[in-house]
Structure 1
């Protein structure tokens, strides 16, 4: 059993305190059994750190295919085959509202944070964010519909950190920010914004299943400890951005797979187009 005090102690071993600001990516089950569940982890996070930022995307509910004929270069997303199929998909999707549950793949911890502590949430229909703490409003104000990774970019300006709790770099959105600053992995995606209404959103990130290959480049900048069964790691955002940039400048296909049907291929082509 892992208790809230043990989680807080582990966070402090990483160097976190009330002056710290983090973007957290997490897995509750990685801890083992947590006394108090996801809410206990939230207690430890908000009680130890100053500001906590978390992804709060709703893609599972709001995301839809492009309408027929809407094809963009290197976008890796097939449009609906007919307008009838598109209208059916639009009707089945959920219109975005600020109280929608967070996508299940993001884990139970951010959903608990949303339900119990986060007073505000950004309004991006696919990739929203929540934040708690003194810098929360500043971070969320940096979120635009055309720049969904703005809160992480702003967190980097505050010398914030990436906190990985039981997860690896395949969920590290800061790597996507570095990609997009270099003109790579900038996709258009589509969402239901109201009943019968859809919209297109730019600069949506691509695949990340090869991102854990960045770990050796970040080893010297990473603080690590174990909290129960959870491997907890803290890495400065500036270090993640610098390492990713260095890798991509050396190889436009860095951290991508070579499968032609994967979004990795389209992201590579986007970078080559920039070059």
Structure 2
């Protein structure tokens, strides 16, 4: 794995289409980029901040754990501004930045750094859609960037916002059953989640349309590949495709619990899922015997 300098990384991010003053929603796998000389731990974040400059803003997801029936054992299921995100190292690094702002949504918070942070996040709380900050990114003519996780975490969160806007995100069987607790005016409150994006691997199906419409730009970023699109352009494609086929976002794995079982509009896949899981267990049993 080749080493890369901060200057080279900044140049590559500019080639990807990130400019001074931009609002950029970022998903990234830091390990895939490689070793950044002189700035091993925070190299990507510092490069992003350098490229967007003092007038630009970086935002990423800082989602936290969701619990079944959070009204029980409330103190163990509590969200606060200090809660550790489960969305990767970039979110953790951004939360440690002295200029970062985190939204108050109890399960799907976001963190941002830059002058547009308050506009992006100030109203994102327990009363908001899980994916509402992406609407604010679009209003600010922002961009979506994926670095090093195109295969493992494909798709822009604009797709989940489109699911919400079309009413699909509320058709999950876990609606109202999972969530977290949080503090409101000094009291511990229970938040029950009502909208879900689901398994994001299905977003790979949308990439071909992104490419056909010319909304994707790619560039080398360290040892991996970066992908950039204008958030509004991606969202418009997401809405158009999901209007025609709400199941498009579902992945193709017959044993994926999230895609085969969790959606009320896809209940016909449940028997197929059960059959596939039984066959899978039978094969594993035969391998263990042999």
Answer yes or no: same fold by TM over 0.5.
yes
Query: C-alpha displacement at 1:268, in angstroms?
Result: 6.1
Structure 1: distance between partners of 2:40 and 2:14: 20
Aligned match of 2:23: 21
Shift of 1:165: 0.9
**Distance of aligned partners of 1:244 and 1:135 in 2 relative to their CA distance in 1, 3 Å threshold:** same
Q: Which residue of 2 aligns with 1:132?
A: 113
Structure 1 pair 26–260 and aligned structure 2 pair: CA distance change class (3 A): closer
User: CA 1:165/1:260 → structure 2, altered by over 3 Å: closer, same or farther?
Assistant: closer
Change (3 A) 1:191 1:242: same
1:262 counterpart (246, 257, 260):
257
- Give the gaps of 5 or more residues in structure 1: 68-85, 271-275
In terms of mean alpha carbon deviation, does 251-260 or 140-149 score higher? 251-260
Which runs of no fewer than 5 residues in structure 2 stay unpaired? Answer: 267-290
Say which of 160, 176, 186 aligns to 2:142.
160
Equivalences, count: 246
CA 147–10 in structure 1, closer or farther in 2 if over 3 Å, else same: same
Q: Answer yes or no: is the 8 Å Cα contact 1:38–1:108 preserved in 2.
A: no
Conservation of the 8 A alpha-carbon contact between 2:94 and 2:100: no
Question: In the TM superposition, what are the counterparts of 1:133-148 in structure 2 within 5 Å?
Answer: 133-145=114-126, 146-148=128-130
> Does the 8 Å CA contact 1:223/1:234 hold for their aligned counterparts?
yes
The 5 A counterparts of 1:72-83 are: none
The residue aligned with 1:215 is 207
Aligned to 2:61: 55
2:68 to 65, 69, 81: 65
The offset of 1:198, in angstroms, is 3.4
Match in the other structure for 1:96: 79
Deviation above 6 Å: which 4+ runs of structure 1? Answer: none
TM-fit CA distance, 1:118: 4.0
Alpha-carbon contact 1:210-1:255 (below 8 Å) kept = yes
**Secondary structure in structure 1 of the residue aligned to 2:168:** coil
**Aligned-pair CA distance for 1:125:** 1.7
Q: How does 1:93-242 map to 2 (within 5 A)?
A: 93-103=76-86, 106-145=87-126, 146-168=128-150, 170=154, 172-186=156-170, 187=172, 188=175, 189-193=178-182, 198-219=190-211, 220-242=214-236
CA apart distance, 1:217: 0.8
- Partners of 1:267 and 1:237 in 2: how far apart? 26
When residues 44 and 261 of structure 1 are mapped into structure 2, their CA distance, relative to the original with a 3 A threshold, is closer
Greater CA drift, 251-260 or 228-237: 251-260
Deviations 1:108-138, CA, capped at 9 Å, x for gaps = 1221111024432111121111111121110
Could you say what the CA RMSD is over the residues aligned between the two structures, in angstroms? Answer: 2.5
Task: Give the distance between the partners of 1:110 and 1:87, measured in 2 at CA.
Answer: 28
Distance 1:163 1:190, change over 3 A: same
Q: Once the 2 structures are TM-superposed, how far is the Cα of residue 42 of structure 1 from its aligned partner?
A: 0.9
Give the deviation of 1:261 after TM superposition: 6.9
User: Structure 1 length normalisation: TM-score?
Assistant: 0.80
